[in-house]
Each structure stands twice: as structure tokens, then as C-alpha cells.
Structure 1
Amino acid sequence: MLKLKSPQKATMQITRWVSDLDWRLLLLIIPSLSVLVFLSLSSTPIDSFPSLRSFIFNHTLLTSNSPDFVNSLPSGVHNRRESSVAKWKDELLRSRMAVCLVGGARRWRPGWHRFESSSPKPLNETESQVRVLTAANSPNGIQGLLQYFNLVEGCLQMIETYQKRKNFTYDWIVRTRVDGYWNAPLGPRISFRVNTLSRPGSDYGGLNDRLGIGDLNTSKVALARLSLIPKLDSAGFHQLNSETSFKAQLTTQHVPYLTKRVPFCIVTDRRYGFPPSRFGVPVAALSSPGPLSGAKCRPCTAACQGRCVAGVMRSLYKGWSWTDWDNGSLELCNARDQWERGWEKIFDKVAGKKSASVRKRFADLKKKECVDDFNEMKKRVSNWEAPPPEELCGLGLAV
């Protein structure tokens, strides 16, 4: 089922076309959206989803023989590792999961004019929302937070509707952003039984909300960004940003959470002072070994490495935009200006041949080709509710 209510505010449900679509295409074709990919692993052949199969099973399950996995097991049970691994594999193979991609890809520039669109229709602001939320440090103020929260909660509504229609429940839910860049698969230590977020860093006084993995019950709380605001108000929380409100909704609802380092970053073309200091925002080079755990990033020639990074990161307030930098895992861009000329070559080298070919295809994409792609997509989903493909493809593409 695919719903795109407007070019600015969209909702997607995708079922069987994942195998034919590179994940990064979502970053390239849709300006602002909430995407929900439903995977019913117990009833759908895993071969239908080679991209996800490779990402989750080949890299996560098959690395279960690695030293990292062995070390992650409780002390004294290494001799039972094989049976534990087999049990975990079996449980995951029998599980159903929903993957929710939320946010806007408008900041990703695939080589042509970037997507430009008018502002989405404003949402009504209630008294409790105005009290609980703050416009500080939000590019679009409280409205920006409400629009984002609305997209996130839209995933929860889609999940519940789909479960009811198909008469089953999902075992776990993955939530992340469409403007994320992943340079490696999720590792075997990720827990699917409690809400899992990025490791401390880029948490802005709360919890980094750029990735969440959890079972259905914890995910219901994690995704309820709008409907829980009145409860936060009643609990006395005021002037919260996205990260502090996210932490408050988990803690007030007694939802446990873990933080792990994960291999992704948020691609941005926003400009930030350099070098960052105290409450500044470090922007990682896409070439950083990572894992970057949701830090801001862009393709660039690294302007700060090694000792330079250590000096910068030690000066940052750890509870704000600080990012893990140990073991040479971080390189920094000078993000004072727009993306540097020749960023395409940098991206192609870092991302690899497959992603580079996708970027190049979209760099030369014409409107007719885009319309044809959307029409093909429509054939592969159970329901389509959206503006005409011609309108969607008119955002920045040549005729």
C-alpha cells in the first residue's frame, strides 16, 4: 500500500517491490515522506527481499560466528553458542517486521537541481504542544517538530491498520530516517526486544531519535510522538526539543532502552561553524570509518583528522552534539559553506560502484523517466494514494 498525500507530506506503504529498489533510491526520488515497509518473514519468502536479506541476514546472522558475537554472549555459555545462535536465527526467521522510514530527503542532492517545494500545510498547535515543545534550534520551529512527529506517528497508524486488515501482529519494528546514509549493516548485538537507539552522541540533552528498533509494545510508545504530548504536559515537561521529548515519552511510559553504536549518519547540506566548539555541530566526512551513530555528515574532503578531531571533540559539550570519535572513527568536514565542487566523485568513491551508478542515473534522469518509474512502482503496491507522478517528478527534474 502506497500513500503520498502531497509532495511535502507523504505516507508510504510498500510491500513487494523492495527487491527491485535500492534503499538509497528513496533518498533520491521522494522529497518528504513517511515510509513503511512491511515484511512478513514467516509468510513471505526471504528471497523476495534480497537487499534486506543481505543487510540483515547475510551480515547479521552469518556474522554470528565472529569473535564479536561470541564475546557478546553471557559469560559461561560460549560452549552453548551454536544452539543459542540456531535458536536466535529461528526466532528471527519466524518473526514479522515493519521498517519505517521517516523524514525528508529534500537535503539530498543526487546531481541535479535539488528538490524544492513549498512549505507543508501548517498543523494546528494546541496549548499543550506550545507548552511542551520549544522552537529553539529547530529550523522550522514548533511547526517543524509537529510535522515530523506527525509523520512518525503516521507509521504507527499504518502498522495498526495493516495488522487489523491482515489479522496478525508484527514482532518488531525498525524506525529510521530517509536522509540517512548507512556504510555497514547492523551488527549482531542489536537487541530487538527493547527500544534501541544510537549510542550517546547527537542527543541534544535527551536521546538521539534517528534510529529505533523494538518490539511492538515499545515501538507503540516510541512512535507516539504527537499523542503523548498531553501526558508530557501533565507530567510537567515544558520547552522540550525533539530529543528531550523523545526521552521523556519513553521514561514516563516506563519503556526501557539501550544505546548502541550503529553505522549510519544523517546527510545534510545545512551549514555549521567550523571548527565547532562547545555547543557547535560537528559534520562528519562521509569517508569516516565510523560507526557514526546518526551524526550529521556530507561528502567532503576531510578538513580535520587525527589529533585535530581529538582537539575539537574534547571541546564539545558531550550532552549536546558530541559524536564518538575514538579509534580514528571520525573525520570532519568544514561545513561553513555549501557542498564542495566535485562532491560527486567523493561520494562515488566512498559509497561504492552500486550506489555510484544509482547517483549517476539520477544525475541524468529526465522527467519522463521519473514518471515511468513511479508508474512502475504503482503496479507493485497494493494501494496508491498520491498526487500524479508528473507532479512528484516536477520537483527539480528537467523535462
Structure 2
Amino acid sequence: MIKSYQEKNNFTYDWIIRTRVDGYWSDPLGPENFIPGKYLVPPGSSYGGLNDRFGVGDYNTSVVALSRLSLIPQLNGSGLTQLNSEAAFKAQLTTQKVQFTTRRLPFCIVTDRKYDFPPARFGVPVASLSSPGPLSGAKCRPCRPVCTGSCVGPVMNGLYRSWSWTDWANNTLELCDAHSDWEKGWEELFDEVAGKKLASARKKVWALNMDRCV
């Protein structure tokens, strides 16, 4: 799709960014994250492979990184089978000899799923949207954090580092108790953290009904 669009419009992308619609960015993506010849992903949330919640690279590295389906037969032929998304992502880069690097990034994945707190060894920590960050794609929600400061270290050290762990150094992470629905008053919490522009957008979306959305 990318190749055909370039050919149709007679140009070539210098860089391609892969992101998600459920991501919340607390700061812009800086120019230091564009590294020629390397594909950049966030650290943590690796689930036995590489964090696949965001990626940026030049055209050549991105072509490989975005070939999630077309490279499956080649992975299978190499004996790399029954991989989860993150492990398959790492395998497709390594088998195609694409260099990758990690860098902490200022975004999280907003989720309404419920997770036990405190998380078990293979559990999922849920960050408060108000965390100083960078959160590097960790799951998050608007909440009044129940675990901050010295509380965070023991919880995160109990997680398996190659699974759902995320960086928490320098008090960058505050944790929610996400075992139930979003708490009452989450709208005000979101608006306070996100600022006037996103708060206004949230209110506009909240005012829509099904007839206007479909």
C-alpha cells in the first residue's frame, strides 16, 4: 500500500511512523528519535520480543517492520512458529538483518480493560495518565494513583522484565488500581492532565450520539 501510494504520487517517504489510535502522547516526538538505518521502538512491554506499540524508521527499515503478514511464511520456514505479536515482530527484524534500538517515548496506551492490582509476575501494570513519564507505551487510564514514589519499585521489580515490565526510574511512573471500571470523575482527571484542547475534544465526542457517529 505504501509503495503503490508513492508510485501514484511520484515521491518517496523519508520516514514512516507507525502508531496507534488509542495512544495518548504527553509530549511531541523529538527529532532524536529518527535514526537512519535503525528502527526505533519503545523499551518495556516486550512480551518476549519487542514492544510493537510504536515504531519509526527510514523507508528501508520501515518496509521490513511493516511487513507483518507477508513475512510469516519466511518465519515459518525458519522454524519460527507459534510466536506472539511481539516475538514475531522481533523475529522479522532480526531475520531480515534490520538493526533496531529502543528509546523511552512520551506516550501510553489508554485502556478500559481491567487488571489485577498489584500485578502478579506476568500481570499488567496500569499507569496513571498523570504520571510524569515517559511511559513508553505502557497501558494507562485516568485515575487517582494508588501507588507512587517508593511504592512503585517493589511492584515493578516483581514483574518479569521480558514481559509487561516498563521503566519506572526517577519517579516517572504512578500506578492505578485497575481491577474495576474507570473511577467516578475520570473525566475531570483526564481534562486536568490533557489540557484545554484535548478536554474540549473529549467533551465534543462525549456529546455525540450513535446517529451522528455512524
**TM-score normalised to structure 2 length:** 0.96
SS at 2:197 equivalent: helix
Match of 1:339 among 178, 182, 185: 182
Alpha-carbon separation, structure 1, partners of 2:22 and 2:176: 18
Residue matched to 1:163? 6
User: Which 4+ runs in 1 deviate beyond 4 A?
Assistant: none
Instruction: Give 2:57's aligned residue.
Output: 214
2 CA distance for matches of 1:281 and 1:367? 32
> 1-side partners of 2:209 and 2:93: how far apart?
45
Contact 1:290–1:330, Cα closer than 8 Å, also in 2: yes
Secondary structure class of the residue paired with 1:210: coil
Deviation at 1:365, TM superposition (A): 2.2
Q: Which residue of 2 aligns with 1:225?
A: 68
Query: For 2:11 and 2:32, how far apart are their aligned partners in 1?
Result: 27
| Residue in structure 1 matched with residue 104 of structure 2 by the alignment | 261
Matches within 5 A, 1:1-399: 157=1, 159-193=2-36, 194-199=38-43, 201-366=44-209, 370=212, 393-394=213-214
Q: Secondary structure of 1:266's match?
A: strand
Structure number with bigger Rg: 1
Equivalent-residue separation in structure 2 for 1:286 and 1:258 (angstroms) = 26
- Alignment partners' CA distance in 1, 2:112 and 2:21: 15
- In 1: Cα distance, 2:209 partner to 2:76 partner: 49
RMSD of Structure 2 on Structure 1 (CA): 1.1
How far off is 1:277 after superposition? 2.1
TM-score (norm 1): 0.52
The number of residues matched between the two structures is 213
- Residue identity over aligned pairs, in percent, reads 64
DSSP-derived class of the 1:220 partner: helix
CA deviations 1:64-102 (Å, max 9, x no partner) are xxxxxxxxxxxxxxxxxxxxxxxxxxxxxxxxxxxxxxx
* Equivalent residue, structure 2, for 1:130: none
Shift of 1:366: 4.1
Measured in 1, the distance between the counterparts of 2:100 and 2:150 equals 33
- Unmatched segments (≥5 aa) in structure 1: 1-156, 371-392, 395-399
Name structure 2 gaps, 5 residues minimum.
none
Structure 2 counterpart of 1:129: none
1:367 Cα offset (Å): 5.3
**Post-superposition offset of 1:185:** 1.1
